[in-house]
C-alpha cells in the first residue's frame, strides 16, 4: 500500500509539469524487484502519466516469467531498455554494472523477450542500456557501430524466431522492424590461409602429416597444400610479416552472394583482394579480430579455385611422404581464434549475425599466465566450430592460435608421421598412470598410447584420442611454439549407452583435455601467430591453442606436472601458453 501511495503522489506531482513516469523494477531491489510487482503498483495508482519501463536485464537475470507482460495494457508500456549478458554466477548488481553487453553478445533469449514485448503492443523506441568495463575503454565510434549492428540483428531475429515456430502472425510494430537477407548455416571450412615471409617449416610439418603440395598460384606467391577436404593456403607475399600468422578462413555457405548482402546490411567491413579476370572472386569481410572471412559455396569434387594453383613449385615443397596418398586427414575440424581483450563479445556478434552461428557456454582454462577465456560459436551440427579465446592481459604471446584437422585413423597417422620424422609433444608417465587408475584399459592399449604419446578420453558416447606436435622455433613461428594437433573421436558405443554419440558441445567429462582448447577504428591488438593441429569427432572436444595460447591442453589433473602447465601438459618453454578449444 505504501509503495502505491508513493507512486500515486509522485505521478500527480509529475503531471503538474507535463511529465510521464516509467516505473522500473530493479533486479536487486529490496522491496520491488520484478515487473509484475511494479505493474501492480502502477495499476493501483491508476494515473494516465504513470506506466512501466521494461528492462531485459532486470527481468531475464532473475528468470522472471515474461508471459505476464502480455497482460499489461499496451498504453502502459512506456519504455523498453535492452541489454544482453553472459551467464554468470554473480550477484545481480555486480553482474549488471560490469557485464552487460549488446544484444547477440551474451546468453539471454532477447529475441524471444522482444517478441513478447511487441505482442503486448509496445510500439516505442528500442533503447540500449549497457554497462561494462570494455566499452568505457574502447573506441566510441566502433562501439556505436557495434550498438547499431546489434539492434539491426535483434530486429531481424524476431520474425525469424516466429518463422521457426511456424507462426505467421503480423503485428503493427513489425512494419518498423529491419529485415535482413536470411542467415544461412555454413556447411564447413574450405581453407585456412597462413600468411608470412617464411613458411618452410610449416610446409615440412604438413608433409609429415601427409599433406601434398598442389602447386603455386598462377599469379601470386601462394602455395596450396591439401589432404582430403583439408586445404591450407600458404601466402608468402612480400608485404607479409616475417612471423607466420593465420590470415583468413573460407566458410562454405549455400549462397555466398546472399550472405554477403546480409553482411553489408549489417555494416561489416568488406575486404578487397586483387584478382585477375581468369581467377575466382569471393566476397570477404573483416572480423573484429582482423581475421578475413571469405564466403564460398560447396561444390561437387574439387572447388574451381584449386585449378589456379597450376604452377610447379620447383624445389620449394618437401616431397610427399610414403603412403601419404591414402588420406587420413579428412578436413578442418575447428579453428581457434585469439581475440583482442575487450573485443571477444564483438567477435561473437560478428559470427552470430553474419553466419548464423550459435554460442556455447564459455569456459575458463588455467594457464601459466592466468585463465584463458574461451567462448565457442558453432553451427548446430558442428560442421563449423570457432573457439574465441582471450589470453590474460600480461600474457607473453596473446596472439597464438591454431587450426585443428579431423582424421579417420589416429594410430596409423601417428605412426606414419613419426616415421616421417615428426616429433610429438612428450607426455609424462604419470599421465598414463592416471589413465590406468580411471579407465579399465587393457595393458596393450595403454602401451600403444604411451608409445605414440597419445592422449585419451572416454564417456558414454565414445572414445577420444589426440596428439600434439611440439613447437618449432623457426619457419612455422619465429620465437614461439606452433603446435600440431591431431584428435579423433571413435564412434564406439559403450555398454549400456543408448544411441549414437551426441552432438558437439555437450560433453561433461572429468578428464583429459576437457576444454582445450572490424569494425572501423584502431587495430584492436597485436597480430596473431598461427599453429597447425588436427582434430576430429562427431562432437566438440578439447583442443589446443588459441590466439593467445600455444600450449597443449590435455587431461585435467589436480596438480600440475613439474615443468608443465597447470592443464597437465605443455611445452617446456616459458614462452608457451595454454590453449583453449571447443567445448
What phi, psi does 164 have (nearest 5°)? -65, -30
Cβ–Cβ under 8 Å, residues 581 and 544: yes
CA distance 467 to 484: 8
CA distance 28 to 92: 6
> Which of 463, 468, 430, 465 has its CA nearest to residue 449?
465
Question: What is the strand order of the sheet 230-235 is part of?
Answer: 212-216, 222-227, 230-235, 188-195, 245-252, 292-296, 284-286
CATH number belonging to domain 1-176: 3.20.20.150
CA dist 113 → 24, 63, 71, 175, 567 (Å): 16, 11, 14, 18, 39
CA distance 388 to 138: 19
pLDDT per position as a tens digit, 421-474: 998 889 999 999 999 999 989 999 999 999 999 999 998 989 888 888 765 543
Give the right CATH number for 410-471+566-575 from 3.40.140.10, 2.160.10.10, 3.60.110.10, 3.10.180.10: 3.10.180.10
Residue 450's CB is within 10 A of a number of other CB atoms, namely: 14
Q: The domain 181-311+327-407 belongs to what CATH superfamily?
A: 2,3-Dihydroxybiphenyl 1,2-Dioxygenase, domain 1 (3.10.180.10)
Residue 172's CB is within 10 A of a number of other CB atoms, namely: 10
The pLDDT score that the predictor gives to residue 145 is 94
The pLDDT score that the predictor gives to residue 153 is 95
CA distance 296 to 487: 26
Q: Across the strands, what pairs with 80? A: 54
**Ranges of residues in the chain whose predicted pLDDT is under 50:** 473-583
CA distance 546 to 549: 5
Phi-psi region of 521 (alpha: psi -120 to 50; beta: other; left: phi over 0): left
pLDDT per position as a tens digit, 558-583: 222 222 222 222 222 222 233 333 33
> Global pTM?
0.77
Give residue limits of the domains in the chain.
1-176, 181-311+327-407, 410-471+566-575
The pLDDT score that the predictor gives to residue 505 is 37
Segment holding 156, helix H or strand E = helix 140-164
Segment holding 335, helix H or strand E = strand 329-338
Place of cell 508500456: 77
The pLDDT score that the predictor gives to residue 161 is 85
Cβ–Cβ under 8 Å, residues 519 and 288: yes
Size of the chain, expressed as the number of residues it contains: 583
Would 1-176 and 410-471+566-575 be classified into the same CATH topology?
no
pLDDT per position as a tens digit, 386-404: 999 988 776 656 667 888 8
The pLDDT score that the predictor gives to residue 357 is 95
Quickly list DSSP for 204-268. HHHHHTT-EEEEE-SSSSEEEEEETTEEEEEE--TTS-SS-EEEEEEEE-S-HHHHHHHHHHTTP
Amino acid at each position: 500500500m505504501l509503495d502505491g501511495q508513493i507512486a500515486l503522489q509522485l505521478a500527480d506531482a509529475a503531471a503538474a509539469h507535463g511529465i510521464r513516469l516509467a516505473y522500473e523494477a530493479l533486479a536487486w531491489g529490496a522491496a520491488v524487484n520484478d515487473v509484475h510487482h511494479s505493474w501492480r503498483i502502477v495499476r493501483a495508482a491508476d494515473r494516465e502519466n504513470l506506466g512501466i519501463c521494461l528492462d531485459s536485464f532486470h527481468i531475464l537475470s532473475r528468470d522472471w516469467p515474461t508471459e505476464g507482460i502480455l497482460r499489461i495494457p499496451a498504453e502502459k508500456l512506456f519504455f523498453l531498455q535492452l541489454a544482453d549478458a553472459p551467464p554468470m554466477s554473480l550477484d545481480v548488481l555486480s553482474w549488471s554494472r560490469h557485464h552487460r553487453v549488446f544484444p547477440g553478445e551474451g546468453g539471454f533469449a532477447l529475441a524471444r523477450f522482444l517478441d513478447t514485448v511487441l505482442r503486448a503492443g509496445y510500439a516505442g523506441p528500442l533503447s540500449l542500456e549497457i554497462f561494462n568495463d570494455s566499452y568505457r575503454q574502447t573506441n566510441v565510434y566502433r562501439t556505436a557501430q557495434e550498438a547499431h549492428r546489434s539492434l539491426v540483428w535483434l530486429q531481424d531475429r524476431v520474425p525469424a524466431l516466429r518463422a521457426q515456430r511456424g507462426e505467421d502472425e503480423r503485428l503493427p510494430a513489425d512494419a518498423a522492424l529491419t529485415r535482413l537477407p536470411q542467415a544461412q548455416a555454413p556447411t564447413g571450412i574450405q581453407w585456412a590461409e597462413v600468411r608470412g615471409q617464411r613458411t618452410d617449416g610449416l610446409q615440412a610439418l604438413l608433409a609429415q602429416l601427409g599433406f601434398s603440395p598442389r602447386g603455386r598460384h598462377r599469379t601470386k606467391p601462394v602455395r596450396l597444400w591439401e589432404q582430403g577436404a583439408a586445404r591450407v593456403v600458404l601466402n608468402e607475399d612480400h608485404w607479409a610479416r616475417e612471423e607466420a600468422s593465420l590470415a583468413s578462413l573460407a566458410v562454405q555457405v549455400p549462397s555466398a552472394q546472399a550472405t554477403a548482402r546480409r553482411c553489408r546490411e549489417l555494416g561489416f567491413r568488406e575486404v578487397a583482394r586483387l584478382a585477375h579476370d581468369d581467377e575466382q572472386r569471393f566476397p570477404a569481410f573483416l572480423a573484429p579480430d582482423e581475421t578475413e572471412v571469405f564466403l564460398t559455396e560447396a561444390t561437387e569434387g574439387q572447388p574451381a579455385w584449386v585449378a589456379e594453383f597450376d604452377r610447379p613449385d620447383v624445389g620449394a615443397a618437401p616431397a610427399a611422404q610414403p603412403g601419404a596418398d591414402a588420406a587420413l586427414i579428412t578436413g578442418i575440424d575447428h579453428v581457434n581464434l585469439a581475440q583482442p581483450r575487450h573485443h571477444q563479445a564483438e567477435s561473437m556478434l560478428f559470427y552470430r549475425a553474419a553466419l548464423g552461428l550459435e554460442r556455447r557456454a564459455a569456459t575458463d582454462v588455467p594457464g601459466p599466465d592466468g585463465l584463458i577465456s574461451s567462448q565457442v560459436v558453432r553451427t548446430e551440427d558442428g560442421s563449423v566450430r570457432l573457439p574465441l579465446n582471450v589470453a590474460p592481459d600480461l600474457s607473453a604471446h596473446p596472439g597464438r592460435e591454431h587450426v585443428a584437422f579431423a582424421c579417420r585413423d589416429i594410430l596409423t597417422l601417428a605412426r606414419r608421421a613419426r616415421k616421417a620424422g615428426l616429433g610429438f609433444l612428450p607426455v609424462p608417465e604419470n599421465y598414463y598412470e592416471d589413465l590406468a587408475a580411471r579407465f579399465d584399459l587393457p595393458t596393450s592399449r595403454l602401451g600403444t598410447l604411451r608409445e605414440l604419446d597419445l592422449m585419451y578420453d572416454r564417456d558414454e558416447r565414445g572414445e577420444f584420442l589426440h596428439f600434439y606436435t611440439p613447437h618449432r622455433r623457426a619457419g612455422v613461428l619465429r620465437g614461439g611454439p606452433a603446435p600440431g594437433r591431431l584428435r579423433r573421436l571413435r564412434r564406439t558405443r559403450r555398454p549400456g549407452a543408448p544411441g549414437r554419440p551426441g552432438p558437439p558441445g555437450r560433453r561433461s567429462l572429468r578428464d583429459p583435455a576437457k576444454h582445450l582448447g572490424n569494425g572501423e577504428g584502431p587495430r584492436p591488438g597485436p597480430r596473431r601467430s598461427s599453429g597447425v593441429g588436427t582434430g576430429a569427432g562427431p562432437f566438440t572436444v578439447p583442443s589446443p591453442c588459441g590466439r593467445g595460447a600455444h600450449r597443449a591442453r590435455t587431461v585435467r589433473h589436480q596438480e600440475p606436472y613439474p615443468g608443465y602447465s597447470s592443464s597437465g601438459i605443455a611445452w617446456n618453454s616459458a614462452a608457451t601458453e595454454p590453449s583453449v578449444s571447443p567445448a
